Amino acid sequence: MPDLDLPDPDPSGPGLLDAGFLRRWMTAAAASVDREADRLTALDSAIGDADHGSNLRRGFTAVASELEKEPPDTPGAVLALAGRHLISTVGGASGPLYGTLLRRAGKALGDAAAVSRQELADALRAGVDAVRQLGGAAPGDKTMVDALVPAVDALGTSFAAARSAAEEGALATTPLRARKGRASYLGERSVGHQDPGAASSALLVAALAEAAGE
């Protein structure tokens, strides 16, 4: 069989995710957080500072505005920008945690013009690992990690699978006793309340599936 002189694959071809896709994800996340901010704050009022929804709304609104003004041209740069603005605009622990998640994922993606779903999953796993190191949390501690770890594990299958895994992980925090964060000070009183960080993490993953049309 003769050798075929085939062109190199299109770096923005089918199945690859470019900067526009990542910007759509962040925009969808901002809209979702805006819609659900009151619910997130209500969850936080039971076991936290009652400001989780308002803080994240401010942060993601700033991210969406900045992406519209000066849209980065690579997936990694989109996430790095989002992470920086969350750190600078979100109060409490949420800013550093979400900012670390996205900045570390952006760094892992590097300067590639487009990435595969698996590459995005691997980058987000690096981000989750950084969050775990920063907060000292493990699955079962009743934190955002309980939604993010199963979501990243499922992302290699599909965006929809990641969304379902994150939602299930968030709901599964309800019967847990908090072992990290402000909620841990409540001891047994933290049992019976869904963790607000896990709930907002599930929104972030759901926005990713929305951006992918799943």
Query: Would you say residue 44 lies in a domain?
Result: yes
Phi, psi of 182 (to 5 degrees): -60, -35
188: domain CATH number is 1.25.40.340
Per-residue pLDDT reduced to its tens digit, 153-166: 999 999 999 999 99
pTM of the model: 0.91
Tell me the pLDDT tens digit for each residue of 34-86.
999 999 999 999 888 889 999 999 999 999 999 999 899 999 999 999 999 99
In a domain, 189, yes or no: yes
Residue 16: which H helix or E strand, with range? strand 16-18
Does any domain span residue 5?
A: no
Residue 52 maps to a domain: yes
Domain enclosing residue 43, as ranges: 17-211
Q: Is residue 2 situated within a structural domain?
A: no
Number of domains making up the chain: 1
| Structural domain includes residue 3 | no
214, 58 in Cβ contact below 8 A? no
